[in-house]
Structure 1
Amino acid sequence: MGSQTFVFSYKWKIMKEGNSRIRALTEAFSSKGLNHNKALGLYTVNAVYGDTITMPCRLEVPDGLMFGKWKYEMPNGSPVFIAFRSSTKKNVQYDDVPDYKDRLSLSENYTLSIKNARISDEKRFVCMLVTEDDVSEEPTVVKVFKQPSQPEILHQADFLETEKLKMLGECVVRDSYPEGNVTWYKNGRVLQPVEEVVVINLRKVENRSTGLFTMTSSLQYMPTKEDANAKFTCIVTYHGPSGQKTIQSEPVVFDVHYPTEKVTIRVLSQSSTIKEGDNVTLKCSGNGNPPPQEFLFYIPGETEGIRSSDTYVMTDVRRNATGEYKCSLIDKSMMDTTTITVHYLDLQLTPSGEVTKQIGEALPVSCTISSSRNATVFWIKDNTRMKTSPSFSSLQYQDAGNYICETTLQEVEGLKKRKTLKLIVEGKPQIKMTKKTNTNKMSKTIVCHVEGFPKPAVQWTVTGSGSLINKAKETKYVNGKFSSKIIIAPEENVTLTCIAENELERTVTSLNVSAISIPEYDEPEDRNDDNSEKVNDQAKLIVGIVVGLLLVALVAGVVYWLYVKKSKTASKHVDKDLGNIEENKKLEENNHKSET
């Protein structure tokens, strides 16, 4: 009976003294705060939400220890015992406290561990070591931290508009403890509140079951054009076991709408220059966002605009499309202009097509052009470029051919024109016959030189006896000329007749040829056309030289004649004087003879 009374009294003493100390410390902690408690030497354990809280008993184990106990204090200061360990029996007992059921562990050195840390574990725990004579206590303050989720920008605006304050979005940060602070950034710079430009509101909501906070920061923003590609982010600043930290959201970019301030008209064409026949597209654009979808297009000479989308198409343009084009917004508040030049090139060839003329006739030819710029003109005859324009004062057979007058505008790609003239020079057959004794003195060659167009057909006839050594051979028909020759060995004087005939006329020429035994004057064959032209050129040169020499001689003769004439006039005066002296001498001699 006495021992039971002692135990009861001892327990009452422990409870009474322990409660008094706990109450006193609780009042001090509540009135002065955590910093003051640290000043009093309170030990703090920082724990991460969901991890295990480990609280060592910071008392030295005294001699005669009977048992150790852990408790925590309620807000009103009353203790709640949660764990007991006997030093003698080594058994551990956990009090029936619902919040800590199956979460506690008390080691042999009286270290208390709490699994799955919660916000509600943020209390002041007390380690108690009891001997027969005394009760020792050491408090430990538990702080629990929960890292928030990554911030998310929700309820984002579809677009922003200049000159309008609009809700940009909400930055939501979930499950933080303690509560964090949310800051908005634009392109890495803090957005500070500005009235009617930047409006930020923060609200915090605590989850009653978990004690965690959700922070929501809304941002209303009035953008400028420069914010078109701006990156907006939000950052949460929170406290953790090791100090202050931050987490940033993913950046978001908003489409910024702003009105059109400038209209631009452009000419879309396949090349830098426009020529007749091209398709031309006019494109009008505004620098607003979104850009205007409709415009008014004004074409030269029209006062009313044509309503269209941002393009206006003109097909197969002509030169009269040259002029000033305009486009404007539908409300005509702003306008832009551009000038279009449609390049053209006209060519007139007179005559053109197929032209037939007679040899010796004149044919005036003209190739005239009309163009938007200076153009180059050149002539081609039978696929060969000519050095000069053709001129026909007296048509020859070699003038016949296919002529092309072509002109181009070098500055305008693909703009060129050409027209053709097919010149046909006709002529009646003309014949010239020649004969030549061959080197073997046994035969003679008779050649019939023929000119005419269309090409005449040639026939030979022989009157008299003589053997034809070969059939008639014709040379190539060039520039309306060719020749036909035969070789004959006449036994007597014969007459050869060459007959040339085309659609215009039939021409007959005969040539008497002596027998092979009778010598006669041989006529050389005509040279070919090219050699004839060269000979003619040489003859012209020789004639020019001779005429020049004659003129020089004539001038020299005139000078000499004038000189002689002057000399003779002077001599007459001298001779007259000399004559008078001679006459006097003769008279004196005659007189002297008569006297004797």
Structure 2
Amino acid sequence: MACRRDTCLLLILLSFATYYVRARVDISMDETVSVYSGDPARLHCQYSFSEEPRMMMVQWFVKYLDGSRQRISYRDLTMEKVDEGTDFTDRITVAGSNNSETLTIHSARLADEREFFCQVNGMAAGNGERKTHIMVFDPPEGPIIEGVPSGISVGHLSKVASCEARKGYPKPNITWYRDETPLIPTNGEINVVTLVTREASGYYTVQSDLQYKVSKEDKDTLFSCKVSYFVPGGVRTAPSPAVNITVHYPTTTIELWREVPKGLVKEGDTVELRCQGDGNPPPPFTFNREQQPEVELESSNAELVLREVTRRDSGVYQCRTLDLDTEEDVVGNMRLTVHYLDPAVVVPKDTEVMSKGESLTATCNALSSLNTSTVWLKDDIEIGRGHTLYLDDATFDTAGEYFCKVSVPSVPGLQTTGSVHIVVQGAPEMKDGVTDVDMEERSGKWVNLTCEARGYPRPIIGWSIDGTQNWREVVNRVTEDTVQSVVTVKVSSDTTAACNATNDMGVETKMHSIKSISMVTPPAKFQAEGSGIIIVIIITCILLLAILGSVIYFLYKKGKLPCGRSGKQEITNVYSTTDKPSKEDIVVEMKAENKTEESVLLKGVNGGDKKPTNDQVTTRVNTMKAL
């Protein structure tokens, strides 16, 4: 009986197994889902049954780090719910449709990075599950780089910089660069020390230190780092700023140069010499001259100042320092040449006396360290170039001060001057070249006569004046070879004035002949300007005389003015005091070369050429007496 039961049970089990083999469910899910921290994560679960299930339920599970699983959502044909008391209770939603289920996790967190299971159970129709791994990403902050502030000596593996990337997930990586070239760790040359810190929040902070064996060439090198980090679907990088490091290396060569002046050096200049080595930090420097190495010259801050240099300051100057590694002197050299120009030497010296018509050769030279150029000047006007000046056929115009200016064209400001005074001797000669002067002047006028003569020795001027005694000298001016005399002469008759210029070499005479002109009528200018005024005066006088005559006549007719023998006697007495009366005793007469308006008016008043009657004479005499 037992055997039969076992047989029956086996048959039942086989029948069930055969059924379940035929009934199955297919589930499809993504292996991974990548999401930024804070963004929603969506997990899709699609399924299909080989037979239509009579009953079906879908459950979502999450797997923890310890391997345990917890259900977070449940749904069947009649109900749908989110499990209470889980880490996802308030952050998930489930949406289902035919043969599909979507789990949405809102505001994904780093802790959400784990496996999620979708389990589908169709009972007799089959059951199964699939899983999806959620990956959460959060980029780190920008890299922070710091170079070592102190100097780094060459030849040693030393830390040169540090780089830090903070709060990134997953863990970021740091790569070092030297002038855009990635640095690969090399034994004894390059080493990278990395420190990774996992914070309680799950973020990573990565700090990387670069150890580098610097050389002198690294003094201008720029170091930088780049942080690479994962993001959904790829990898990104963030570069840091570049930093420069201070490299310490010994001085092996020294450069010495002249800073001031920029051009050639001349005597009197201030010279500045500067010294610079190729070491870092700059070592202390000392200066000396090659011919006196034991004498240290006073300097400051790698600078030597030489004030008001002379030609004796020419020579080789040295700047030196001590190489601490080899304990040997490192020296820089520079030759300083101070150019000079000695005072000009002029031949002949000082003053040279020449005779008129002679020739002279003058030279001007100055000793110099460079080629010179010479210019001759007289009265600030250039008269020649070159060291030699030729003066031919000397005249009094040749006399004067001659200057030579010697300069060095290649050195502005380097010049010297010399001079020679030329004196030309000879008999006097009138400076204006005129020996006879004829002139006409009005009698009674004072006239200035000028006589200016030149000669060497300086002449003496004497005057001999005939025709007038009224003269005097008003100007007597002398220079080295010239004398000027001015006399003022009153012309009263024809006058002859002789100016005699005399020196040891001879005499020169200048004659002034003055013809005296007698002036009877006023000059035409005076007539033209004064005629109007004279006419007005004459007319006014005539009117006054006419009025006065009318008054006297009126009084006479009225008997107010007695007129008889007494009156005639008065006239007789008047006439007796003079000779025969004439027109000039009564009438004012203006003479002129031409017949003018004044003469016409006067004739009209005097009645032309007719003789006056007795009554007219009486009236006029009485009028004159009244006046």
TM-score, structure 1 normalization? 0.63
Partner of 1:347: 343
Secondary structure of 2:292's match? coil
1:376: which partner in 2?
Answer: 373
- Counterpart of 1:231 in structure 2: which amino acid? L
1:386 is matched with which residue: 354, 363, 383? 383
> d(CA) in 2 for partners of 1:288 and 1:301?
27
Say what the alpha-carbon RMSD is for the aligned residues.
4.9
- Post-superposition Cα deviations, 1:209-268, rounded to whole Å, max 9, x if no partner, equal 333322222210112233233332223334333134433333333233322221010012
Partner amino acid, structure 2, of 1:296: T
Instruction: Give the aligned residue type for 1:334.
Output: V
Structure 1 residues 467 and 435: alpha-carbon distance in aligned structure 2, compared to 1, 3 A threshold: farther
Q: Of 189, 193, 197, which aligns to 2:185?
A: 193
Q: Distance in 2 between matches of 1:221 and 1:449?
A: 99
Q: Any idea what the Cα deviations from partners look like across 1:83-116, whole Å, max 9, x if unmatched?
A: 1234324x4232311x224111112333111122
Matches within 5 A, 1:60-459: 60=48, 63-89=53-79, 91-97=80-86, 99-109=87-97, 110-131=101-122, 133=124, 136-150=127-141, 152-158=143-149, 159-207=151-199, 209-292=200-283, 294-299=284-289, 301-304=291-294, 305-306=296-297, 308=299, 309-330=301-322, 333-349=329-345, 355=351, 367-387=364-384, 389=388, 397-424=396-423, 451-454=455-458, 456-459=460-463
Hey, what does 2:522 align to over in structure 1?
Answer: none
Bigger shift: residues 375-384 or 334-343: 375-384
- The letter for the 1-side match of 2:463 is Q
1:47 is aligned to: 35
Residue identity opposite 2:400 in structure 1: G
Decide whether the 8 Å contact of 1:130 with 1:136 is kept in 2.
yes
Structure 1 residue 47: deviation in Å? 2.7
Residue in structure 2 matching 1:58, options 20, 33, 46: 46
Deviation readout 1:367-397 (Å, 9 max, x if unpaired):
3422112323332222333348457899863
**Which stretches in structure 1 are left out of the alignment for 5+ residues?**
1-37, 439-446, 486-493, 512-596
Change (3 A) 1:246 1:477: same
Given that 2:82 and 2:89 are in contact with CA atoms closer than 8 Å, whether structure 1 keeps it comes out as no
1:77–1:367 Cα change, 3 Å: closer
Secondary structure of the structure 2 residue equivalent to 1:58: strand
**More off after superposition, 149-158 vs 318-327:** 149-158
- Once residues 437 and 152 of structure 1 are traced to their aligned partners in structure 2, the CA distance between those partners, rounded to angstroms, is 110
Which residue matches 2:567? none
State the distance in 1 between where 2:121 and 2:454 align: 155
Report the Cα distance in structure 1 between the residues aligned to 2:286 and 2:499, rounded to whole angstroms.
Answer: 84
The Cα offsets for residues 408-430 of structure 1, whole Å up to 9 and x where unpaired, read as 11121221111334445577868
The question of whether the paired residues in 2 share the 8 Å contact of 1:500 and 1:508 is answered with yes
Following the alignment from structure 1 to structure 2, what is the Cα–Cα distance between the partners of residues 370 and 235? 71
What residue in structure 2 maps to residue 586 of structure 1?
Answer: none
> Cα offset for 1:335?
0.8
Secondary structure at 1:60's aligned position in 2? strand
Deviations 1:517-549 (A, max 9, x none): xxxxxxxxxxxxxxxxxxxxxxxxxxxxxxxxx
Give the CA deviation at 1:184: 1.6
Asked if the contact 2:32–2:135 (Cα under 8 Å) also holds between the matched residues in 1, the reply is: no
Identity %: 26
CA distance in 1, matches of 2:191, 2:253: 31
Q: 1:201 to 1:406 in 2, by over 3 A?
A: same
Q: Do the aligned partners of 1:238 and 1:246 also contact (CA within 8 Å) in 2?
A: yes
Contact 1:448/1:498 (CA < 8 Å) preserved in 2? no
> How far apart, CA to CA, are the structure 2 residues paired with 1:254 and 1:448?
90
> C-alpha separation between the residues in 1 aligned to 2:507 and 2:62?
152
User: Hey, what's the Cα distance between the residues in 1 that align with 2:454 and 2:231?
Assistant: 121
Q: Specify every segment of 5 or more residues in structure 2 that has no aligned partner in the other structure, as ranges.
A: 1-26, 439-450, 488-494, 511-627
Give the aligned partner of residue 587 of structure 1: none
* More off after superposition, 261-270 vs 42-51: 42-51
After superposition, the C-alpha distances for 1:182-209 in whole angstroms (9 at most, x for unaligned) are: 32222222211122220112232222x3
Contact 1:357 1:426 in 2 (8 A): yes
Secondary structure of residue in 2 paired with 1:120:
helix
Contact 1:263 1:336 in 2 (8 A): yes
Of 451, 461, 464 in structure 2, the residue corresponding to residue 460 of structure 1 is 464
Contact 2:108 2:136 in 1 (8 A): no
Contact 2:251 2:330 in 1 (8 A): no
Distance 1:420 1:405 in 2: 6
8 Å CA contact 2:194, 2:206 repeated in 1: yes
Deviation, 1:342, is 0.9
> Does the C-alpha gap of structure 1 residues 387 and 119 become closer, same or farther in structure 2, counting only changes over 3 Å?
closer
Tell me the secondary structure at the aligned position of residue 46 of structure 2.
coil
CA contact (8 A) 2:139 2:231 kept: no
Aligned pair in 2 of structure 1 residues 396, 66: CA closer, same or farther (>3 Å)? closer
Query: Cα 1:417–1:75, aligned 2, differ >3 Å: closer, same or farther?
Result: closer
Write out per-residue CA displacement over residues 287-333 of structure 1, whole angstroms, 9 at most, x where no aligned residue.
223333x3111136422223632111111111111111111115662
Offset, 1:406 = 1.3
Q: Is the 8 A contact 1:459 1:500 kept in 2?
A: no
1:7-46 alignment, distance < 5 Å: 43-46=31-34
Q: Is the 8 Å Cα contact of residues 463 and 497 (structure 2) preserved in structure 1?
A: no
Mapped contact 1:48–1:241 kept (Cα < 8 A) = yes
CA positional deviation for 1:75: 4.5
Question: Are the counterparts in 2 of residues 204 and 215 from structure 1 also a CA contact under 8 Å?
Answer: yes
